[in-house]
Amino acid sequence: MPARIRVPRWVSVLALAVGGMSLLFVTSALLPLLHTDQSESWRDTIRIGYAIEPPYAFVNKNGNVTGESPELARIVARRAGVRSTRFVLCDFNRLIDALVAGEIDVIASGMFITPKRIKRIAFSQPTTTVHPGLLVQRGNPHKIDGYGAFKAGSGVRVAVLNGSVEQGYLLASGASSSAMVIVQTPQEALTALHDNAIQAIALSAPTVSFMVASSPSEFEAIAGFTPGEAPPEEHCAFGFRLDDTSLRQAFDAALAGYLGTQEHIEMISRFGFDRSAVPQTR
């Protein structure tokens, strides 16, 4: 009968400890790889949310999503290594909720960076620089001269997109809530202006210019600020979930090599933008 070898207890404990440490080491080594795979799952397909607001985002006569923001998103996504993009239509005031809820992965809709919004989502580096504007009927029959024209008792009303930066501008300029008509889409506002239900539409200057170009005999653009005042300057950017750091950084890296290039200027010029719309961050 073979002799039994007694193994001291401390040897067994040491073996278990070494085994546990080995497992911990292997697991720790694999964690970054597992995290990388998960954090870069966006490389296959990303869902891009947009709202109809030409020239930032709209659907052309062929049924394709286009505009400054979707076209830029396509280019940047491709440069970032994304294989496929899918566009998802939302009301403007639903875009952030849809992003946070995981219904979309990126917002590409000419969304301004604001202190309120950065509490809920992360933004890429700025993609465009814009100023506020106003659309009025041709000849400006009501002599509207800026966002400060819509005070109580003024007799003029203005349509503004729900949740937009322009809504904040109007309130800051002393506009009466009774003089503001809150709409969900620019088309809804255009219909109201055409029917004389309102006297102006508050939108960004590029959007106003795009609308005038579409109906020059019916509408005209005026500055959204009172003459003599410095126009407020805002920056648009792509929006991301706060924890989607990898995707946002990939977009930022791609943007850094593209914004301000001749190819970029030629692309945005199709939608009424020029070099002055390129943020001075390069």
Q: Average the pLDDT over 24-46 and give the result.
A: 55
Please tell me the class of the 41-129+234-277 domain. Answer: alpha beta
Do 41-129+234-277 and 132-223 come out as alike in CATH topology? yes
Which pLDDT belongs to residue 28? 42
pLDDT, greater one: 278 or 13? 278
Domain at 132-223, CATH homologous superfamily: Periplasmic binding protein-like II (3.40.190.10)
Distance between CA atoms of residues 110 and 185, nearest Å: 14
Domain ranges in the chain are 41-129+234-277, 132-223
Q: Does 5 have pLDDT greater than 60?
A: no
| pTM attached to this predicted model | 0.74
Which pLDDT belongs to residue 31? 40
Q: Average the pLDDT over 214-239 and give the result.
A: 80
Distance between CA atoms of residues 272 and 268, nearest Å: 7
Contact (Cβ atoms closer than 8 angstroms) between residue 126 and residue 273: no
Encoded amino acid at 145, one letter: D
Distance between CA atoms of residues 275 and 190, nearest Å: 28
Which pLDDT belongs to residue 6? 52
Which pLDDT belongs to residue 60? 96
Q: Name the range with the highest mean pLDDT among 3-12, 34-43, 156-165, 256-265.
A: 256-265
Q: Does 19 have pLDDT greater than 60?
A: no
Q: What is the mean pLDDT of the chain?
A: 86
